[in-house]
Chain A
């Protein structure tokens, strides 16, 4: 009886904390959406919890601005983010598997090496990267925005840690007994087992790429190749006649919708993947 009351109290406490955190998390989306319904002067003048009447106006303003190609922006962002997520997760899993499942001479050295480079901030090599890309004439192209994702040390490290706790080598050996080739074993046995880890890292990589302004802004100049964060920055550097925070918030809202969809899709997949993994184990 006593422990049941304690359990109830504990449960109530858990719900209260969850409710608080939920409020904190959703609150910002609420303001974002509210601000996208208000016009520049209302936003400048201060804060409001009630929506304004400029939603339609802001939306048409954004869509009719020929210098802000929203649709191609969404498309470019989708390409870059999707390919980044796929490349980063696949090749990191491959690399992690290479170091996890095989014993070779420079295994340890390779592992420590990746750990070391994981600590390098992107800013450190940014200017050199831009010089390199420009010298091979790949600037103003989407390729340098996703191709480097093949080497994603942090994703690799996560995959490796995940394999350490969740990938029994017995499975791999069993597959070998059945005559499965190494690549096939990886693609058809290991990858499915890694689904939760892949889903998690795919979300992270996707979101990071989606919101990245720094590198795309340095490389992209053509309007039809600009990604959403560059377009948002363009709106924010508009001249005084056209400067319109309502438009900025509207574009941010537009930019957030696809990513929420992707997120919700993948977050379902995590749960499914976990159940799958559990059954197999």
Chain B
């Protein structure tokens, strides 16, 4: 019996070893074609073009009638139902939505199959990666056609063979001309754009009118902007505010994005982490703020941070993006929540006490990009979805009017900005106008594939430094340790 068991075990093991070495071969093959990260840009665009040749062919053939060569199932992968909602509500070809929302049927009979994996513990990316790596061997109807990505890790997918240049789908620069440049930069590698988005998410500084009046003597957005126009002025106001018993910012990371969006070079050069002087400026500023009591030592999204935005808050202002103001900030500002019978109107909490200005530096926060997966069997449909949902001004404007989502159409947003639109929550200010001024100035040409991991690592490592648990050197060391764990290919670090 024992012998049996052992032989059985051995044969199983051999089988397993074979499976694994096969899997390894497949992986190695993929790596071989992709080369190392530095040389990959050209290489991948080259090979992508090759494969895209075929795509274009089929796209050309299909554009006349959405049938024939197109696959019958369109697989879309995402991490929540945000895009699903936009798609079902605004894509003109939608015929019907299944009662459990797991599929959407299009007019030409194509079934859109939604695969939604929560992103907790990186689960979404884990599964997406496995599926993409297995894409080549998947049956046509199981191949991923569209997947969504977020800005922070966009380049991981953009800088790979697994995303198609949108030009190869037949989307032209003219189609994209009304989109904000930074939204194209984030999804581009070596000048080749591989994803497109319906959102633009410029950021602003939302401040408390009452506190501004007390500290600066005015609550007029133009005047306040003058007082906060660069970091030196911003710091000076922080000192004034502290003298009156206010905090300038709530937490350590509140201002992080304004610094990290304005770096002079990407995070990584070859295999060396290059810490940008602007990041060091964030470290120094935040340490000073913490030691002098200019901030409240909170963390983004935690209870204390949210409470700081409410009626009891003593914080001068918050860096917030398009989506945050009418939902998060408004909800946090009310004394009696709407669900409890409170009304979103002046008199309830600090409704009406916020206003927005551009702040010291332009930046963005958030956003979701649509990518076409290499190997898709529905290129014409994918193209049509991208065109309708990210380039069609009428649809985009409608999305903004219906949902207050700030959309990626410069002229459309200008039209809304120029209207008599105003926000009662912001004391009558037209914040869309301000957003549309800021958005074109955002420069994301220095985004890179390591942004997500390194941004998180540096925030975590230096939180201990601000808290006084470790000194500067230890924080730097912890940052590098964590960075190496996340990206084994990074071997060096350079501080300015």
Contacts and interface: CB of A to CB of B under 8 A. Distances in A.
A/B touching: CB–CB < 8 A: yes
Contacts of B2: 105-106
Contacts of B117: 217, 221
B331 A41 contact: yes
A45 interface: yes
A46 B120 contact: no
A39 interface: yes
A237 B339 contact: no
A39, A45, A218, A240 — most chain B CB neighbours (10 Å): A45
B409 interface: no
B337 A67 contact: no
Contacts of B306: 41, 44-45
B324 interface: yes
Contacts of A21: none
Interface in B73-129: 79-82, 84, 99-102, 115-121, 123-124, 126-127
Contacts of A221: 115, 117, 127
Interface string A110-143: 0000000000000000001011101100000000
Interface string A14-51: 00000000000000000000000001111011110000
Nearest to A66: B101
A53 B342 CA distance: 12
A53 B100 contact: no
A233 B2 CA distance: 45
Interface string A47-82: 100001110010000000011010000000000000
B116 A217 contact: no
B340 interface: yes
A217 B339 contact: no
A223 B116 contact: yes
A238 interface: yes
A134 B134 CA distance: 10
A135 B19 contact: yes
B473 interface: no
Nearest to A220: B117
A223 B82 contact: no
A240 B119 contact: no
Given A217-B123, A223-B102, A52 B82 contact: no
Nearest to B337: A41
B130 interface: yes
Contacts of A224: 100, 102
A232 to B, nearest CB: 9
Contact of A218 (B80, B81, B126): B126
Given A46-B303, A105-B2, A237-B118, A52 B340 contact: yes
A46 B80 CA distance: 26
A54 B339 CA distance: 7
B23 A242 contact: no
Interface string B1-43: 0100000000000001001100100000000000000000000
Nearest to B101: A66
A239 interface: yes
B118 A217 contact: yes
Nearest to A106: B2
Interface in B310-346: 310, 323-324, 327-328, 331-332, 334, 337, 339-341
Kindly state the interface size class of chain A when it binds its partner: 35 or more
Contacts of A222: 102, 115
B101, B119, B339, B405 — most chain A CB neighbours (10 Å): B339
A41 B337 CA distance: 7
A42 to B, nearest CB: 6
Contacts of A188: none
Contact of B340 (A44, A53, A105): A53
Interface string A84-105: 0000000000000000000001
B140 interface: no
A234 interface: yes
A45 B127 contact: no
A236 interface: yes
Nearest to B102: A223
Contacts of A105: 2
Contacts of B82: 238-239, 241-242
Contacts of B123: 217-218, 233
B80 A234 contact: yes
Contacts of A202: none
A233 B16 CA distance: 32
A230 interface: yes
B332 A44 contact: yes
B116 A234 contact: yes
Given A39-B340, A46-B303, A241 B102 contact: no
A69 B100 contact: yes
B81 A135 contact: no
B307 interface: yes
B64 interface: no
Interface in B230-278: none
B310 A45 contact: yes
Contacts of B99: 66
Contacts of A230: 118
Contacts of A239: 80-82
Contacts of B130: 130, 134
A52 B339 CA distance: 9
A53 B403 CA distance: 26
Nearest to A241: B327
A53 B341 CA distance: 9
- Top-3 shortest CB links A-B: A239-B82, A44-B306, A233-B118
Given A221-B117, A223-B116, 19 more contacts: A42-B340, A44-B303, A44-B307, A45-B303, A45-B332, A52-B340, A54-B339, A128-B20, A130-B130, A131-B20, A222-B102, A233-B123, A236-B120, A237-B79, A237-B80, A237-B118, A238-B80, A239-B82, A242-B80
Interface of A: 39-42, 44-47, 52-54, 57, 66-67, 69, 105-106, 128, 130-132, 134-135, 213-214, 217-218, 221-224, 230, 233-234, 236-242
21 contacts: A44-B306, A45-B303, A46-B303, A69-B100, A105-B2, A128-B20, A131-B19, A131-B20, A131-B23, A132-B16, A213-B120, A217-B118, A217-B120, A221-B115, A233-B121, A234-B80, A237-B118, A237-B120, A240-B324, A240-B328, A242-B82
